């Protein structure tokens, strides 16, 4: 009976999460990079309220997750450069305060590890209940540097809980003598050992280079997202809604055990594609003469893909759509082929922008290639990882970075060009791994060229046969 129970229990979680030794290696690296005689503090993300008594799904702070694997709120981690001694004379170089087990609360909001669970499952031995932080005896004034990120002052207080995030932050501020918040009047000058900058550099320099374990999870997130694009290419037809197309992608993500989307899914037909972060996805019937821009990324065990495909709703690119699409494609392909260690984002961007500008000039959409315009209003690239726009320190490309290349051309209605271009919006976004001497396209499973897309869209979809009862009621 007992055996059966523990077997069941072990099946309740996927088994390909990052392992405790990954997180430990990251904590060791942070310590290595910390300045002499310093302590660093990392806090859990706040719980965000959606409305009344409903909260948004909790999403852990990526730095804290990277360093611990902990996926619960109300926690603070302290890392020390040098070993400290506890009251019994034992050495320690880290201490973690986490939310306690609570039978009643766990019935409502889910299982908690508690400090013992963290010790056993995450293998962070020096872990305590968060309510013990308040009286934890540590003289922060003895450190040359106290490293943390400035607070945003946007955390709700639970007055009945001395260990909630609000309390942990107030207690921490008290302990380190920090009254200030950006934009807030200070009542006391911060102690001069407070350092709000160094942690950005330390965490950015670590997180911008992915380990093999992280690359494995990113490959999965990216593959899952490309399967979503492929299934939608097969299912696409006039009359579908933006929302149901979003649903097909996200269903595929879930089928592969993705927890979330890495960012709100962007599914915009025609003119809606010109709105860069269009997340309403409200259009009830997409039309045969429109293009569909779909920017979606599965988040798999914390790591997110970021992939965009733009396809013709009726399965065939018009001449104008093809002309714009191929400019964007050439810009992307050329930048991709330049990818190797040592190249900078600025260099890739220049090459891609030059191709877009020349292409727009050749089509007469702008008067000449040097004319200023807003048809490509966003950046070309960013790192991906635990955040869709992942932490980094703007280094040149290096082996094991993973980043996007995502040129686009967006021609809103009433633009200063021939009307035949209005409403065309194209972005092609792929995820690239930098290798020792070049790159690997991680998102190649989703067709990218005009010909590949048109061929894929001719294939049958199992969803062609999926019909549901009509929605009854007033208009
Ligand atoms: N999906 C957000 C971006 O492409 O950066
Ligand atoms: Mn992107
Ligand atoms: Mn994107």
Tell me which DSSP letter residue 47 carries: P
| Whether 119 and 144 share a structural domain | yes
Of 96, 78, 88, the C-alpha closest to 175 is 78
Catalytic, out of 280, 378, 413, 451 = 378
In whole angstroms, what is the distance from residue 100 CA to residue 226 CA? Answer: 40
What is the reported pLDDT for 311?
A: 98
CATH number where 176 lies: 3.40.350.10
Instruction: Report whether pLDDT(7) > 70.
Output: no
| Whether 301 and 380 share a structural domain | yes
**Is 53 an active-site residue?**
yes
CATH number where 357 lies: 3.90.230.10
What is the reported pLDDT for 266?
A: 98
- Model pLDDT for residues 237-292, shown as the tens digit of each residue: 999 999 999 999 999 999 999 999 999 999 999 999 999 999 999 999 999 999 99
What is the reported pLDDT for 6?
A: 46
**Is 94 an active-site residue?**
no
Residue 186 lies in a domain: yes
Give the pLDDT mean for 336-358.
Answer: 98
- Model pLDDT for residues 29-65, shown as the tens digit of each residue: 999 999 999 999 999 999 999 999 999 999 999 999 9
What is the reported pLDDT for 191?
A: 73
Beta-bridge partner residues of 163: none
Nearest CA to ligand 1 atom 4: 306
Residue 260 lies in a domain: yes
**Is 123 an active-site residue?**
no
Nearest CA to ligand 1 atom 2: 306
**Is 406 an active-site residue?**
yes
Task: Give me the domain span that covers residue 379.
Answer: 209-457
Number of folded domains that form the chain: 2
**Single residue among 157, 187, 205 that ends a domain in this structure:** 205
| Whether 243 and 362 share a structural domain | yes
**Single residue among 175, 205, 235 that ends a domain in this structure:** 205
Confidence band, pLDDT 50/70/90 cuts, at residue 87: confident
| Whether 197 and 176 share a structural domain | yes
Catalytic, out of 410, 430, 439, 448 = 410
What is the reported pLDDT for 272?
A: 97
- Model pLDDT for residues 447-456, shown as the tens digit of each residue: 999 999 999 9
Query: Residue 405 CA: which ligand is closest?
Result: 2
| Whether 325 and 423 share a structural domain | yes
| Whether 261 and 398 share a structural domain | yes
What is the reported pLDDT for 350?
A: 98
Pocket of ligand 1 (CB under 6 A): 263, 295, 306, 388, 406, 429
Residue 90 lies in a domain: yes
What is the reported pLDDT for 474?
A: 87
Residue 78 lies in a domain: yes
Confidence band, pLDDT 50/70/90 cuts, at residue 3: very low
Question: Which atom of ligand 1 approaches the CA of 297 most closely?
Answer: 1
| Whether 300 and 166 share a structural domain | no
Residue 98 lies in a domain: yes
What is the reported pLDDT for 12?
A: 82
Residue 41 lies in a domain: yes
Question: Which atom of ligand 1 approaches the CA of 389 most closely?
Answer: 5
Residue ranges near ligand 2 (ion) with Cβ within 5 Å: 306, 404, 406
**Single residue among 205, 230, 249 that ends a domain in this structure:** 205
Confidence band, pLDDT 50/70/90 cuts, at residue 2: very low
Confidence band, pLDDT 50/70/90 cuts, at residue 188: low
Give the pLDDT mean for 340-350.
Answer: 98
- Model pLDDT for residues 198-229, shown as the tens digit of each residue: 999 999 999 999 999 999 999 999 999 999 99
In whole angstroms, what is the distance from residue 194 CA to residue 423 CA? Answer: 51
| Whether 187 and 217 share a structural domain | no
Mean pLDDT of the chain: 95
| Whether 190 and 266 share a structural domain | no
The b-or-e profile of 189-207 (16+ CB within 10 A means b, else e) is: ebeebbbbebbeebbbebb
Give the pLDDT mean for 169-198.
Answer: 77
Q: Please say whether the beta carbons of 48 and 55 come within 8 A.
A: yes
What is the reported pLDDT for 10?
A: 56
Residue 87 lies in a domain: yes
Kindly tell me the number of DSSP H helices and DSSP E strands found in the chain. Answer: 12, 19
Beta-bridge partner residues of 77: 42, 96
| Whether 234 and 174 share a structural domain | no
Question: Which atom of ligand 1 approaches the CA of 262 most closely?
Answer: 1
Instruction: Report whether pLDDT(11) > 80.
Output: no
Centroid of ligand 1 to alpha carbon of 157 (angstroms): 32
Nearest CA to ligand 1 atom 3: 306
Which of 276, 429, 443 to mutate to test ligand 1, by most ligand atoms within 8 A of the CB atom?
429
Catalytic, out of 213, 382, 440, 454 = 382
| Whether 195 and 217 share a structural domain | no
| Whether 143 and 22 share a structural domain | yes
Residue 193 lies in a domain: yes
- Model pLDDT for residues 141-177, shown as the tens digit of each residue: 999 999 999 998 899 999 999 999 999 999 999 999 9
**Is 454 an active-site residue?**
no
What is the reported pLDDT for 1?
A: 39
């Amino acid at each position: 009976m007992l055996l059966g129970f523990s077997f069941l229990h072990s099946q309740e979680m996927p088994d390909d999460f990052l392992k405790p030794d990954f997180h430990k290696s990251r904590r060791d690296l942070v310590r290595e990079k910390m300045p002499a005689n310093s302590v660093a503090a990392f806090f859990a993300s706040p719980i965000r309220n959606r409305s009344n008594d409903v909260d948004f799904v909790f999403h852990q702070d990526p730095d804290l997750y990277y360093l611990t694997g902990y996926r619960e709120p109300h926690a603070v981690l302290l890392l020390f450069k040098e070993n400290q001694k506890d009251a019994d004379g034992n050495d320690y170089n880290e201490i973690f305060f986490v939310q306690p087990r609570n039978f009643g609360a766990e019935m409502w909001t889910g299982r908690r590890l508690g400090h013992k669970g963290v010790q056993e499952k995450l293998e962070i031995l020096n872990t305590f209940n968060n309510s013990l932080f308040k009286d934890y005896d540590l003289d922060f004034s003895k450190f040359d540097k106290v490293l943390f990120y400035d607070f945003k002052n946007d955390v709700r207080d639970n007055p009945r809980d001395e260990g909630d995030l609000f309390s942990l932050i107030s207690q921490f501020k008290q302990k380190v003598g920090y009254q200030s918040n950006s934009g807030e009047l200070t009542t006391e000058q911060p102690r001069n050992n407070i350092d709000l900058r160094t942690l950005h550099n330390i965490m950015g320099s670590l997180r911008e280079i992915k380990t093999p374990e992280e690359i494995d999870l990113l490959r999965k997130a990216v593959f899952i997202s490309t399967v979503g694009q492929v299934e939608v290419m097969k299912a696409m037809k006039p009359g579908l809604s933006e929302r149901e197309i979003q649903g097909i992608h996200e269903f595929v993500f879930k089928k592969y055990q993705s927890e979330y989307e890495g960012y709100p899914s962007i599914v915009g037909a025609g003119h809606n594609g010109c709105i860069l972060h269009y997340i309403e996805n409200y259009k009830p019937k997409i039309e045969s003469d429109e293009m569909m821009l779909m920017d979606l990324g599965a988040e798999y065990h914390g790591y997110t893909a970021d992939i965009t495909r733009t396809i013709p709703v009726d399965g065939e690119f018009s001449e104008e759509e093809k002309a714009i699409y191929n400019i964007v494609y050439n810009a992307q392909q050329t930048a991709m082929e330049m990818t190797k260690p040592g190249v900078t984002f600025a260099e890739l961007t220049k090459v891609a922008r030059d191709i877009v500008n020349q292409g727009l000039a050749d089509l007469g959409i702008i008067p000449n290639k040097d004319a200023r315009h807003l048809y490509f209003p966003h950046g070309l690239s960013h790192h991906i990882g635990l955040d869709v726009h992942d932490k980094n320190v703007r280094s040149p490309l290096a082996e094991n970075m993973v980043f996007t290349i995502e040129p686009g051309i967006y021609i809103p209605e009433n633009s200063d060009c021939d009307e035949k271009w209005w409403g065309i919006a194209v972005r092609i976004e792929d995820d690239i791994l930098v290798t020792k001497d070049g790159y690997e396209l991680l998102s190649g499973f989703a067709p990218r060229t005009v010909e590949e897309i048109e061929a894929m869209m001719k294939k049958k979809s199992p969803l062609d046969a999926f019909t549901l009862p009509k929605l009854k009621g007033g208009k």
